[in-house]
Amino acid sequence: MRLLGAAWRIALLLGLVAFLARPSLFAPVFAPLTRFDAPPIYDGTSLLSLTLNHLALTGAATLCASLLALGLAILVTRPAGAEFLPFSRALANAGQTFPPVAVLALTVPLLGFGAAPTFLALFLYGLLPVFENALAGLSGVSPGVSEAARGSGMTGPQRLALVELPLAAPVILSGIRLSAIVSLGTATVGSTVAAKTLGEVVIAGLLSGNTAFVLQGGLIVAALAILINDAFLWVEGRVRARLG
C-alpha cells in the first residue's frame, strides 16, 4: 500500500516535470477539450516560467509569514511577552479574516498591479495557521520538562533552542504546511491583478472559453499541492520519529 502510494507520487512528479518541460507532447491529450481549433496548450507565457513564478511567490510569502508568526508565537510564550498575546492573536486573525481578493482590491491602489499586492495577500493569509500551531506547540511542552530544563540551569534562549522548539517542531511544521498549501491555491487569484502565476492560464481559459487552459492550470496547481503536502508530511514524520 505504501509502495503504491510512493509509486503514484513519483509518477505524478515525473508527469508534472514532463508536462512543464515539453507541454507540446501533451497537446493531443488536451486537443479534444478545445473548440474551433483553439490552441490546446497555453502559450501566452511558458508554463514552466509561470509555475516557477507561482512557486517563488508562494514560497516567499509562506516563508515570511512563517518567520513572523513563529517570532510572535515565541514572543508571547516568554514571560516578558505574555501581554502581547491578545495583540498577536488579533493580528493573525485579522490576516485570515480579510479574504485575499479583498486584500488585493484594497492594496492595488497603493502597491500597483503585479506581484506585490499578491505577496501581501498571501503573507497575511498565511500568518494564522503558523501562529496558532506554533503557540499550541510551544505552550504544549509538558510542565515537568520545562521545569527540568530550568532546573538544569538552561538560560531562556537555551530552553527555547534545545527543548521547546525541537519538541514543538512537528506541530509548527504542520502549521507551515497548511499555510503553504492554502497560499499555493490562493496565489492563482493574484493573476487578476496581473501577478505572473498559474492563475493566468485559468483566467485565459475562462475568458476565451478554452476548457483545456482551465484544466491545465488547475491540474498543475493541484499536482504541486499534492507533492508539497507530501513532502511536508514526510519531513514531519521524520522529525516526529526523531523525537521518539
Partner 1 sequence: MIRVETLSKRYGEAPPVVDDLSMEVAAGEICAVVGTSGSGKTTLLRMINRLVEPSAGRVLIAGEDTRNLRGHELRRRIGYVIQGHGLFPHWSVADNIGTVPRLLRWKRAAIDARVDELLALFGMEPATYRDRRPAELSGGQQQRVGVARALAARPDVLLMDEPFGALDPVIRGRAQDELAAVQARLGTTVVLVTHDMEEAVRLGHRIAVMDAGRLLQCATPAEMMARPATPFVEALVGGAERPFRLLSLDRVEAAVEPGEADGPPIDAGANLREALSACLWSGRDALPVERNGQRIGRVTLAALRRRAAPEAGTPAP
Part of the chain binding partner 1 (CB under 8 A), chosen from 46-54, 65-73, 78-86, 152-160: 152-160
Residue type, 176: I
User: What is the nearest approach in angstroms of partner 1 to the Cβ of residue 72?
Assistant: 24
- Distance between CA atoms of 208 and 42, rounded to whole angstroms? 11
79 binding partner 1? (CB under 8 A):
no
81 binding partner 1? (CB under 8 A):
no
Exactly one of 28, 79, 109, 153 binds partner 1 (CB under 8 A); that residue is 153
Phi, psi of 34 (to 5 degrees): -100, 160
Mark 190-209 with x for binding to partner 1 (rule: CB under 8 A) and - for no binding: --------------------
13 binding partner 1? (CB under 8 A):
no
Exactly one of 163, 184, 189, 214 binds partner 1 (CB under 8 A); that residue is 163
For residues 28 and 157, which CB has a smaller minimum distance to partner 1 in the complex?
A: 157
- Distance between CA atoms of 62 and 224, rounded to whole angstroms? 15
For residues 169 and 198, which CB has a smaller minimum distance to partner 1 in the complex?
A: 169
User: What is the nearest approach in angstroms of partner 1 to the Cβ of residue 164?
Assistant: 11
Sequence-distant (6+) residues with CB within 8 A of 32 are none
Interface residues for partner 1 in 122-151 (CB under 8 A)? Answer: 142, 144-145, 147-151
- What 3 state SS string does the chain have? CHHHHHHHHHHHHHHHHHHHHCHHHHHHHHHHHCCCCCCCCCCCCCHHHHHHHHHHHHHHHHHHHHHHHHHHHHHHCCHHHHHHHHHHHHHHHHHHHCCHHHHHHHHHHHHCCCHHHHHHHHHHHHHHHHHHHHHHHHHCCCHHHHHHHHHCCCCHHHHHHHHHHHHHHHHHHHHHHHHHHHHHHHHHHHHHHCCCCCHHHHHHHHHHCCHHHHHHHHHHHHHHHHHHHHHHHHHHHHHHHHHC
For residues 89 and 150, which CB has a smaller minimum distance to partner 1 in the complex?
A: 150
59 binding partner 1? (CB under 8 A):
no
User: What is the nearest approach in angstroms of partner 1 to the Cβ of residue 149?
Assistant: 7
155 binding partner 1? (CB under 8 A):
yes
User: What is the nearest approach in angstroms of partner 1 to the Cβ of residue 157?
Assistant: 10
For residues 145 and 231, which CB has a smaller minimum distance to partner 1 in the complex?
A: 145
CA atoms within 13 A on the CB side of 230: 15
Using CB under 8 A as the binding criterion, the count of chain residues that bind partner 1 stands at 19
For residues 24 and 142, which CB has a smaller minimum distance to partner 1 in the complex?
A: 142
User: What is the nearest approach in angstroms of partner 1 to the Cβ of residue 155?
Assistant: 5
Contacts to partner 1 by CB under 8 A: 142, 144-145, 147-155, 158, 163, 166-167, 242-244
